[in-house]
Amino acid sequence: MKAITHTDFTFDGQVGKYTGKVRDVYDIDGKYLVMVVTDRISAFDVVLPEGIPYKGQVLNQIAAKFLDATADIIPNWKIAVPDPMVTVGHKCEPFKVEMVVRGYLSGHAWREYREGKRTICGVPMPDGMVENQKFPHPIITPTSKASEGHDEDISKEEIIASGLVGREDYEQLEKYTLAIFERGTRMAAEKGLILVDTKYEFGKKDGVIYLMDEIHTPDSSRYFYADGYEERLAKGEKQRQLSKEFVREWLMANGFQGKEGQKVPEMTPDIVNGITDRYIELYEHITGEKFVKADTVADAGGILARIEKNVSSCLASI
């Protein structure tokens, strides 16, 4: 299977294209977006040199499932999934912040805590906590969305004072964030998983707030296995994770953290295939469904032709 790392479509009504770290997003008449979730993979804000077959399908289908499962909480941008690697939806004006919500002291929050910090994004963290311990209640630690490079931690007060988001809208985003996280937490628990932390993006269209982009995927979220969590926590052992963290750990073990002068280690076929297998495992655990490979065509051109046909048909019907 050939990984799809680049697309260059021209759809009817197309007025622009945005290439992100992982997604190629096509603007249709300023009203709709065609989001192609490629097989590119990024870590430490760097797009790695090799694509991961089926990764795009995994992320797109997980996101679609969770968008549908939270549509009663907040409207979302999704209109259709015409292809396993594509979502078509409403074009919204995005808020310039990402809403990061954390139920546990892990990842970036733990690294800050370990250095002695007891607030993150203006939110206090209790003394005496250990890595991967559950917070008394979920905390929201937003970041400002950077057009390039790293997103930056920012507090609620800084967001409102700077005019990035008005107070009324921001407080509504907080309510939505906690409600969606609660739903995701419950759905994860049903699969024997713990939703540790995640991020959401929101936008506005015609005065209405919409949930955008992907949600509860292994690229945007961290999951632990619930089984054995307490025992590992008590022993100070690493938790068994379902997230992209395993990619970051492999990179760090090979001397790469995205810093200047560092070189991405060689991504051999065995490494690439292993990452594919992990993403499929993630899909099956998170959704509780068997992953069905959309295509066994080895030729990328065949997959690109399939995507173009499916998207064009969808756009003609909306």
pLDDT, tens digit (0-9, with 9 covering 90-100), for 105-124:
999 999 999 999 999 999 99
Confidence of residue 246 (pLDDT cuts 50, 70, 90): confident
CA distance 55 to 85: 9
Q: pLDDT tens digits, residue range 11-66?
A: 999 999 999 999 999 999 999 999 999 999 999 889 999 999 999 999 999 999 99
Q: pLDDT tens digits, residue range 293-308?
A: 997 554 567 899 999 9
CB 89 within 8 A of CB 33: yes
- The region, left, alpha or beta by phi > 0 then psi within -120 to 50, assigned to residue 99 is beta
- The 10 Å Cβ neighbour count of residue 263 is 8
Query: Which pLDDT belongs to residue 9?
Result: 97
Query: Which pLDDT belongs to residue 300?
Result: 60
Confidence of residue 149 (pLDDT cuts 50, 70, 90): low
What pTM did the predictor assign?
0.90
Confidence of residue 1 (pLDDT cuts 50, 70, 90): low
Confidence of residue 151 (pLDDT cuts 50, 70, 90): confident
Structure tokens at 166: 């008005």
